[in-house]
Amino acid sequence: MNISWRSLSALLVAVSVAACGTSTNSAAVSDTTAPDADSQGSDTSAGGDSSTLADTQAGADATADAASDVGADVQADSSGADVNDAADSAVSDAADDALADTATDAGSDGTGGYSGAPIALEEFTSTYLKAMCSATMACPGLLDFSFSTAAGCEAMLGSLLMTKIGALIGEVKQGLVVYDPVQAGLCVAALTASCTNLVKVAAPMACDKTFVGALAAGATCAEHTQCSSGWCAKLDSNCDIGKCTNALALGAKCTANVECGLGNECGNAGVCAPKFAAQVGAGCGPSSCAAGLYCDDLSMICGAPKPAGGSCLNSGQCQKPNVCIPDAASQDGVCGPPLALGAYCKPTFGTENTCAPGLACVSTDQLKPGTCMAIAPLGAPCIATAQCGGWDAVCRGAAGKKTCQTLPTKGQPCSAPDYFAGEIFSCLGEFECVSGVCADLPVAGSKCPDTGKCPDGLICDDAAKICKLLPGAGAPCSGMCKPGFGCKMDSPNPTCVALKCM
């Protein structure tokens, strides 16, 4: 398959799972499976796309969405009892899902992005990462996430990218996927050509051609990425073996996006339809609505952005440059101009800034109103982490003497993030805070992180404070299974079943 940009970009949002005959949205399966790139955050009612270059980009936005989910969960439980659970799950889901919605149209607002020269396979990850972070830093306030330095951006996004892109590169070396260095260069150049490109959803054609499945229809396969059609129809009970299958025609009944081919999705009606083509009033999913429209989170219907004064749930529902100004008394908001310095604002856990460019909504308690304040650079005084202007920074120090600092890295002292203060991460990049020191991600048998949450596939034994493996295929379960599996609860003896086969 021409691996769609939205696929390798959504690396960090539910890289999808192919359904074996039925949707993964099964009521008989517990939804408390461990966060996983192959089972979390996807539109399971319609199935998911194959994990590709395009979907890597959607990740950062997904992480931003997850951080918003943290806010909602924290506000829903002001006692804080489940704050760590909610925040860890939401951010982990998104972090396993992708980097940032990007696009193709060239613009005049240049970012100083990549030149377009061919990129060798061994250089792709680092080149892509540097170019994307350079463009992100050149477009402050445009995205729902930010970083205080380019190095911090590379550390944070790099830790999210390496595993997924590494898997694709591994398949290239096995002869299962073909990599085109010329298209890779053109892809990165298109994505970083303008700030406009960083926030659109359509995919540069070059990105669709960067990683292409090498196997023809009828060949045995294990992953969708291996098939030129993009669809590896699973044959065995654990979905470990499949057959490359030609994509369905537009209008054909479907259960998963991957069945519909490049540029298409399995729409709300359960039939294959073009992505980004649905008009106002049409049913929609994450990739359905045409350019300039949005998919309403509640009605799941495409709508036109609203003018100032219109009701909204997020800024994507407002005509630019308006944002969705939260109502102090409800969860809804009103479209209006970005808020000025000193204005009342509602904290959003590091995402969807409603303050004017150069300002941030700052509060020492994310459950309480904040004030639009100037973003503080590293080393400057601060009162809360939200003021430090990036996911790679934190506000630390003695009372009255706090300053914005880069998150600690391996071997440096750390503390679990204070979600109520707007903090999301405890260490820079791929490290976790363990016993007050940033360390490599725990493995089975090692101490739990200070958040009490172990990496994907593991769970913290609360008594022993040790990370242990989650149950896998066919193993008894009580609600949680290892990534890619769900606990089938509709039997006297619940067991873990592969999600992608359900």
Report pLDDT for 405. Answer: 95
pLDDT in tens, 360-390: 888 887 678 889 999 999 999 999 888 887 8
Q: What is the distance in angstroms between the CA of the first residue and the CA of the last residue of the chain?
A: 23
What six digits make up the tokens of 452?
């009490």
Of 284 and 484, which is predicted with more confidence? Answer: 284
pLDDT in tens, 288-319: 888 889 988 888 899 999 999 999 988 889 99
For residue 97, give the DSSP letter: B
What six digits make up the tokens of 122?
């061994």
Using a cut of 0.75, tell me whether the model's pTM lies above it.
no
Label residues 226-244 b or e (16+ Cβ within 10 Å = b).
bbbbbbbbbeeebbeebbb
Report pLDDT for 237. Answer: 60
Q: Where are the domains of the chain?
A: 6-16+51-214, 338-421
- Residues contacting 308, CB < 8 A, separation 6+: 318, 319, 322, 335, 336, 337
For residue 125, give the DSSP letter: H
Query: Could you write out the DSSP letters of every residue in 370-392?
Result: EEEEEPPPTTSB-SSGGGG-STT
